[in-house]
């Protein structure tokens, strides 16, 4: 097959944008590679030049969203905000990003056929958040805001709390119960880093 002359990144972005639209309209399982190619007005051969499968498209879309919210968290981590504000922002940003991409994406990622993608995504996000989270906790310790004897263990627990909150979005809890989970999560994070109650704020 002849190598496409268009900038590969431009074409990849077009494929991702088209797939994201169709996944939203028709659902992930209701969308085929043929649908994506037809919507773009290209051949399936062109699609397969860039992506091996629809599953690979899903992973690329998820990774694109992760890159966006990680950039926001990095900016906040370098700001003059307090460590407590940074920690709350880190959790809130992940939660808001998950919620903003809707029920269809959550249902797709949590579907039994895609659990390997979900697990891979969770591990990847945790690896990328770890250095940022540890820097925030260490900053809190150096300022005597946090009382943490083992930062890595504390962060691991915070990441588990975050996963617990994401599960609540997938479970489609009523707003009242979701709000209760958020308040409980704030309290648990405060206890984990050893800061006074009312200092960690998690929002959606």
Domains along the chain? 8-50 (1.10.10.60), 54-193 (1.10.357.10)
Q: Closest Cα to residue 161, out of 202, 128, 195?
A: 202
Which pTM does this prediction carry? 0.86
For residues 166-188, average pLDDT: 92
What confidence score (pLDDT) does residue 6 get?
63
- Which of the four pLDDT bands, split at 50, 70 and 90, describes residue 162? very high
The owner of tokens 């805001």 is 145
Average pLDDT of the chain to the nearest whole number: 91
Return the top range by mean pLDDT from 34-38, 62-66, 169-173.
Answer: 34-38
Confidence of residue 1 (pLDDT cuts 50, 70, 90): very low
Paired tokens of 101: 């991409």
Helices (H), 27-114: 33-40, 44-50, 54-77, 83-100, 102-110
- pLDDT above 50 for 2: no
Packing angle, helices 151-170 and 102-110, rounded to 10: 110
CA 72 to chain centre: 12
- Report pLDDT for 106: 84
Tens of pLDDT along 45-95? Answer: 888 999 999 999 999 999 998 898 899 999 999 999 999 999 999 999 999
pLDDT at 7: 78
DSSP secondary structure string, 26-41? H-TTT--HHHHHHHHT
Section 111-117 average pLDDT:
90
Mean pLDDT of 97-101: 84
């Amino acid at each position: 097959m002849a190598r496409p002359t268009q900038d590969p990144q431009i074409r990849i972005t077009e494929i991702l944008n088209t797939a994201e639209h169709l996944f939203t309209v028709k659902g992930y399982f209701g969308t085929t590679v043929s649908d994506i190619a037809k919507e773009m007005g290209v051949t399936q051969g062109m699609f397969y030049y860039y992506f091996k499968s629809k599953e690979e498209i899903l992973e690329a879309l998820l990774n694109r969203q992760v890159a966006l919210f990680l950039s926001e968290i990095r900016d906040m981590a370098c700001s003059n905000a307090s460590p407590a504000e940074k920690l709350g922002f880190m959790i809130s940003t992940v939660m808001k990003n998950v919620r903003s991409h809707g029920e269809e994406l959550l249902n797709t990622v949590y579907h039994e056929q895609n659990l390997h993608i979900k697990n891979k995504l969770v591990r990847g996000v945790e690896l990328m958040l770890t250095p940022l989270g540890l820097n925030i906790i260490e900053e809190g310790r150096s300022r005597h805001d946090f009382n943490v004897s083992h930062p890595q263990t504390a962060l691991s627990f915070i990441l588990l709390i975050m996963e617990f909150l994401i599960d609540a979005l997938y479970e489609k809890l009523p707003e009242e119960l979701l709000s209760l989970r958020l308040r409980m999560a704030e309290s648990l994070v405060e206890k984990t880093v050893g800061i006074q109650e009312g200092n960690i704020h998690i929002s959606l």
